[in-house]
Amino acid sequence: MLGTRVDDVDAPRLIKSRHGWWFVGNQTWTLIQPDHVRPDGTVSPAVDAYLRDRGAYRPRTPTSFSLTVLTTTACNLGCAYCFQNTDLDTTGGNRPARIDRRRLNADTIERIITFTADRMARSDSKKLSLLLFGGEPLLNPDGCLRMLRRAGALNLCSAHMTTNGVLLTPTLSRDLEKAGLSGIQVTFDGSREDHDRIRVKHSGAPTFDTIVDNIARASEVTRLRWSLRINVSHHTFDRIGEIFSQLEGRIDPSRCTFSFAWVGDAGFGYGNDLRPISEVGNRFAAWSIAALEAGYHVVRPSMRTTCQICTEPGGRYGSVVNADGTLFSCWQSAGKPGFEVGTVDTGYSDLDSASNRWVSCGYEYDQPDTLAMDELQDTVDGALLDHLHATGRL
Q: Is 265 helix (H, G, I), strand (E, B) or coil?
A: strand
Main-chain dihedrals φ then ψ at residue 342, nearest 5 degrees = 145, -170
- What's residue 367's pLDDT? 63
Which residues, in sequence order, are CB contacts of 375 under 8 Å at separation 6+? Answer: 277, 278, 281
- What's residue 2's pLDDT? 38
- What's residue 23's pLDDT? 96
Rounded to whole angstroms, the Cα distance separating 225 from 294 reads 17
ω into 135 cis (within 30 of 0): yes
Rounded to whole angstroms, the Cα distance separating 164 from 82 reads 12
Contact 192, 247 (CB under 8 A): no
Rounded to whole angstroms, the Cα distance separating 187 from 260 reads 10
Which residues, in sequence order, are CB contacts of 315 under 8 Å at separation 6+? Answer: 119, 309, 327, 348
Contact 329, 359 (CB under 8 A): yes
- What's residue 269's pLDDT? 65
Contact 274, 282 (CB under 8 A): no
- What's residue 80's pLDDT? 85
Q: Which helix (H) or strand (E) holds 130?
A: strand 128-133
Q: 370-390 vs 277-293: helix axis angle to the nearest 10? A: 30
Where the chain has pLDDT below 70, the residues are 1-9, 264-269, 365-368
Rounded to whole angstroms, the Cα distance separating 137 from 164 reads 9
DSSP characters over 286-318: HHHHHHHHTT-EEPPP--B---TTTSSTTTSSE
Burial 12-29 (b: 16+ CB within 10 A, else e): bbbbbbeeebbbbbbeeb
Rounded to whole angstroms, the Cα distance separating 84 from 63 reads 30
Contact 180, 148 (CB under 8 A): yes
Beta strands at 128-133 and 326-328: parallel, antiparallel or unpaired: unpaired
Q: Where in the chain is the domain with CATH 3.20.20.70?
A: 65-306+362-377
Rounded to whole angstroms, the Cα distance separating 261 from 362 reads 12
Superfamily, domain 65-306+362-377: Aldolase class I (3.20.20.70)
DSSP characters over 162-193: E--STT--HHHHHHHHHHT--EEEEEE-SSHH
pLDDT in tens, 42-94: 899 999 999 999 999 988 888 999 999 999 999 999 998 898 999 989 998 99
Q: Is 29 helix (H, G, I), strand (E, B) or coil?
A: strand
Rounded to whole angstroms, the Cα distance separating 315 from 330 reads 10
Question: What is the pLDDT of the chain when averaged over all its residues?
Answer: 92
- What's residue 364's pLDDT? 74
Q: Is 368 helix (H, G, I), strand (E, B) or coil?
A: coil
The 8-class DSSP code of residue 127 comes to: -
